[in-house]
Amino acid sequence: MSRYEVQLGAHAAVVDVRLHPEGGWWVALDGADPVHLRGGAVGAAEWRLDGDGQHHSVAVHVDGERLSVQSGGHGLSGTVVDPRDRALDALSTDAHGEIVTPMPGAVVRVLVAAGAEVTAGQVLVVVEAMKMENEFKAPAAGVVEAVHVQAGSSVDAGALLVSVRTEEGA
């Protein structure tokens, strides 16, 4: 199941989506009973959704966390946040630029070396856990003091990946 936090104007919602065994998806809004939706793409960013005897044409454009939706002649814009990303951001960096992994996994890529200058949000290391690639990013601009892992190595939960001396912490 995938869970997303959606903010459209003043309305915040939690959307749970999982595959339906007969095709389509189960979709639940704010913990309500899930609705079985079927559908398919009818354009580059347009979908036809069928559920509960109703048909909807929905156009969706996502750019990072920004979301634009057009349905029934109404346009909405807002944000979508995958709570896993928020949790990784919160757990993976302490105040001193020590980037750690909250879960065990395998290091897929190391994208920096000691001495490299980095920008805030720059991806430093990618760790695969439970068949998902998780990007660990620089908390702020700074210089990489040390890289503690290498591609192909296994890491335990809490393992130190990269140390960054940030301009904020200098």
How high is the pLDDT of residue 87? 54
What CATH number has the domain spanning 2-81?
3.30.700.30
HSE value, Cβ hemisphere, 13 Å, CA-based, for 165: 8
* Residue range(s) in the chain whose domain bears CATH number 3.30.700.30: 2-81
Please tell me the distance from the alpha carbon of residue 78 to that of residue 65, in angstroms, as a whole number.
Answer: 8
How high is the pLDDT of residue 129? 83
Q: Note the pTM of the prediction, 2 decimals.
A: 0.49
Q: 84-166: which CATH number, 2.40.50.100, 3.20.20.150, 1.20.1370.20, 3.30.450.20?
A: 2.40.50.100
How high is the pLDDT of residue 144? 94
* Residue range(s) in the chain whose domain bears CATH number 2.40.50.100: 84-166
Do residues 59 and 77 make contact, with C-beta atoms less than 8 angstroms apart? no
Average pLDDT over residues 107-115: 96
Burial (CB count within 10 angstroms: exposed 0-12, middle 13-18, buried 19+), residue 105: buried
Q: At a CB cut-off of 8 Å and minimum separation 6, what does 63 contact?
A: none
User: pLDDT tens digits for 116-161?
Assistant: 999 988 999 999 887 788 888 888 899 999 999 999 999 998 889 9
40 versus 122: the higher-pLDDT residue is 122
